[in-house]
Structure 1
Amino acid sequence: MRKKWFNVMAAGVMVVGLLAGCGSDKNEKTDASPSAGGSPSASSAASSPASSGEKVHLRLYTFGPEATYNWSNTLKSYEEANPGVTVEAVVLSDKGDTQEAMKKLDLAFASKENIDVLMFSDPAGYAQRVSLGMAEPLDDYIAKDGGFKVSEEYKVDTTLNGKVYALPGKFNPWYVLLNKDHLDEAGLALPTDWTWDEYADYAKQLTKGEGTSKRYGTYFHGPQGGGWMEFLKLMMMNQPKDSDFLKADGSSNLADPNYKRTLELRVRMEKEDKSSVPYSDIISQKLAYRNQFFNQSASMLTIGSWMNTEIGGTDKLPLTFHVAVAPFPKNDKADQIGYSPVTTDYTAVSSISKNKEAAYKFVRWYTTEGQLVQGKNIPAWSKVSNDQVTPIIDTILAATANPELVDKDSLTKTLLMSKASEMIPAASYQSEVYKAVNEEYEKLILGEQDIEATVKNSQERAQQIIDANKK
């Protein structure tokens, strides 16, 4: 399978030198010291892999641009602690577009470029590329590194089919960004514990105007081409277990009533309340969620907390209003608030790296102490305590254009209350299921079939994919 994939991908590589490294002239000094409670295994992993005197140059292929990942200071800190080792960040999308980045990564891998470290942005993409042999198993390296358990050492368990192929970097729970000025205008209180029905009610009350100048109550950025599937699992992902379209054993979970409830919510808000930006506009106009929120075209944005680095505005998208944060809504009032989808960076060692041990040591450092140095996200590393979160948030907001317009208290409380559902290992065919479910949703939202047919067709197509992959 791997050989066939290489041949197909290599045939599509038409341009040599597709990828370029990312540089920066920012050289601010960053404190690379680990927290007082740092783990011995993390510290040992940061020891120099070039102790023999051999120089090592690692190439990190990432979707994360300099502005949101602070690569210049982060990599400089690692190099200073590891003489003889240099790390080059090859940024695959200057705008942080993960789909663009993954396409370039696949081409680069097929053409056997010198790739040492890989970063994947979602569990489906991670599982798919593991199945294609792109990531090196890390279990033997972890055994030599103290034998820690990923599920205990990190807040996100990256175990896949009984093996570990990547370690998690950031811990980015999803939340809701709100235009506080619009809330005040409508006389609505800032939510601290709410349901999706209440979210829909807020969106309806926040919607204003008609035509091209209409302001929508909310914007949902997906699904799109099998990506951004979180927006079809809104009422599944806030559950402690079974939060995805597939179960842990790879079987279908589309009979879960919360899948149907999500479809009903999306149809109600777009077709009946007319409070969410139409799906047809999102696709045809290639709308960007940042622009929709910062340009005040939508009053609420459900999104991942990677937005922390931009929440106070940027040069490209300045913040001109007060913004607040609310937790991911729950389904029913009796449910516990706080469960939300959590994204991370799946940081892996390339299977074609010529410096695998050195690459692992960097991955281990980057996903532990390196997250504190980077200072752009809440780390998935369990050794980071709640007391350390507030200064991290302060650092993140200070780098934005107008941090004074951000309700830091609501942001901090939301992040601290957030928790991930039980991790479901991604099946190798998960992206196929996502694409099929996406296509059925498009038929629904574009008026070609009803909700019952959408659920039925999604279940049947998913089962066909599962059966085909188990032969």
Structure 2
Amino acid sequence: MLKRGSSYSFINHSLKKNIILLLTVLLVFSCPGKKKSKEITLTYMNAESSTEQLKIMNIIASRFERLNPGIKITLVTGVKIEKILSTIASGRGVDVFMGWDQINEYYDRDAITVLNPYVEKHGFNREEYYPISLDLLTYKGNLLALPLQLKTQCLAYNKTLLQSAGFALPPKSWHYDDFFAYISKIYQTEQIKPNRMNRNLTITQVDFFIQQFFPEIFNTEKGNLHPDAFKHLVKMFDKQYKIIKKLPAPEEVAEFSAAGSASGMFSVFKMSKSYLQNAPAWGLIELGTIKNFDWDVVEYPHWGNGYMLIDDAYLAVTSISKHKDEAYKFIKFYISQTGADLFAHSKNGFSPRIASTKKYFTAPPVNISTYTDIMNKYKLLRTAVQIKNYSLFRQNLGHSGIYVSFRKGEVPSSAYAKKYIEYADKFFLPWEK
């Protein structure tokens, strides 16, 4: 039997233990824990909007979010480039955007972030990518964006339609003179058909514009015209006009498109109403849906001076982004193996990442390697010309109406060349910053 003092001592000791335990619990729950880090949201703007393109974007963004739990990607798609520029000018609303033209103009406007410090901090293996893809985005050692797509130009041909009409298939490589002779035969045969809507078109359009920036016409480094530019332009425009006369007018192309079930620049070809079709590498994602006839690609016609066109699309971090490190990590992930493999497999252009293109940018079409072979076979002329005020030049020359008049045969090649030189002298300057 415990003595009274002992009982009191035991109770007092137990009470102390309970009080200490209670205080410990209260202390644990009352102490402020480590605050949950705030989630970062990156807004990514992209002009693309097709079902397949959106699918690629969503897959890449979702995978990045899983690997980076504190970062959320908001996709804004189908936007025009003017919207991207106005958003940047507003000071907020976009961290990353996909561009395909005039990287130098964004740089001049201080709209983008030079990536060199982020490459040094977070890494980037240049050896994995085609050198031209990085050259196109580098100015005086400054990497202005990361390469997303490369796009060389080919012509698609409707093999089924050509063979059924008794025409030879086009050669794998050809000069514009060969191209003119080829479409002339098709044009003459189709013109015999009395009902215009029963005729098939040679090709819906031929893009000549950028090829006027050959070195014998313009020096992009000095920002001025070659002394013999007028002579070369007239010679080139004379050939262009001969070809244009064998092409349908834009109104006729629109009429054919309206009569069919397809839409967009590939619609007439997909309806099997055109023998040939402009087929930039990014167009393969659309041409790949063709199931009702056989088709393939050949090189785009060349001018005989050793040059062919190349274009690129890129991912840039905006200068207004408040999360530049995270934005850089996102675009680096986007063009790495995960994203590059998806791009190469879907044929939404071919990936600048060499291993992805070699593995996934494969037939069909049978001659798909033509797109990448061009990079080794020719000197490459970039479509996004690095000259100051290039966009102003194009707008003013286009708004002058001179090309429409030239296409209709209302003005001679010499007048078109004169107007070209007038606007080039007025607007062009060497790109320096």
* TM superposition score normalised by structure 2: 0.75
Question: Counterpart in 2 of 1:252?
Answer: 225
Larger helix proportion of the pair: 2
- Cα deviation for residue 452 of structure 1 reads 0.9
- 2:49 partner amino acid: P
Question: Counterpart in 2 of 1:447?
Answer: 409
Q: Which runs of 5+ in 2 are unaligned?
A: 1-35, 259-263
Does residue 1:138 correspond to 2:115, yes or no? yes
| CA distance in 2 between partners of 1:112 and 1:144 (Å) | 25
| CA distance in 1 between partners of 2:171 and 2:243 (Å) | 19
- Cα deviation for residue 90 of structure 1 reads 0.7
Matched residue SS, 1:326: strand
Question: Counterpart in 2 of 1:301?
Answer: 277
Query: Which digits, 9 at most, give the CA deviation of each residue in 1:257-308, with x for residues without a partner?
Result: 654444223310233xxx2122565699999421122123321112311011
- Cα deviation for residue 127 of structure 1 reads 2.8
Distance 1:186 1:245, change over 3 A: farther
Does residue 1:325 correspond to 2:297, yes or no? yes
- Cα deviation for residue 353 of structure 1 reads 0.9
**Alignment check: 8 A CA contact 1:436 1:458 kept:** no
- 2:98 partner amino acid: M
Matched residue SS, 1:248: coil
- 2:425 partner amino acid: Q
Does residue 1:411 correspond to 2:371, yes or no? no
Question: Counterpart in 2 of 1:344?
Answer: 312
| CA distance in 1 between partners of 2:225 and 2:329 (Å) | 37
Partner of residue 267 from structure 2, selected from 291, 314, 339: 291
| CA distance in 1 between partners of 2:256 and 2:169 (Å) | 33
Question: Counterpart in 2 of 1:71?
Answer: 57
Matched residue SS, 1:435: helix
**Alignment check: 8 A CA contact 1:218 1:298 kept:** yes
Does residue 1:276 correspond to 2:252, yes or no? no
Does residue 1:389 correspond to 2:357, yes or no? yes
| CA distance in 1 between partners of 2:266 and 2:114 (Å) | 36
| CA distance in 1 between partners of 2:308 and 2:429 (Å) | 30
| CA distance in 1 between partners of 2:366 and 2:406 (Å) | 39
Query: Which digits, 9 at most, give the CA deviation of each residue in 1:15-64, with x for residues without a partner?
Result: xxxxxxxxxxxxxxxxxxxxxxxxxxxxxxxxxxxxx9553221110011
Matched residue SS, 1:330: coil
Q: What is the Cα-based RMSD across aligned positions, in Å?
A: 3.4
Distance 1:366 1:418, change over 3 A: same
Partner of residue 173 from structure 1, selected from 136, 152, 156: 152
| CA distance in 2 between partners of 1:255 and 1:77 (Å) | 51
Matched residue SS, 1:109: helix
Distance 1:269 1:324, change over 3 A: same
Larger strand proportion of the pair: 2
Query: Which digits, 9 at most, give the CA deviation of each residue in 1:121-144, with x for residues without a partner?
Result: 22x3x3333322221222222233
- Cα deviation for residue 392 of structure 1 reads 1.3
Question: Counterpart in 1 of 2:208?
Answer: 231
**Alignment check: 8 A CA contact 1:232 1:259 kept:** no
Partner of residue 44 from structure 2, selected from 32, 41, 60: 60
* TM superposition score normalised by structure 1: 0.69
- 2:62 partner amino acid: K
Q: Which runs of 5+ in 1 are unaligned?
A: 1-51, 94-100, 222-229, 398-405
Identity of aligned residues (%): 18
| CA distance in 2 between partners of 1:290 and 1:340 (Å) | 22
| CA distance in 2 between partners of 1:244 and 1:78 (Å) | 46
- 1:214 partner amino acid: R
- Cα deviation for residue 150 of structure 1 reads 9.4
Question: Counterpart in 2 of 1:86?
Answer: 72
| CA distance in 2 between partners of 1:72 and 1:243 (Å) | 45
| CA distance in 2 between partners of 1:436 and 1:283 (Å) | 25
Aligned residues: 372
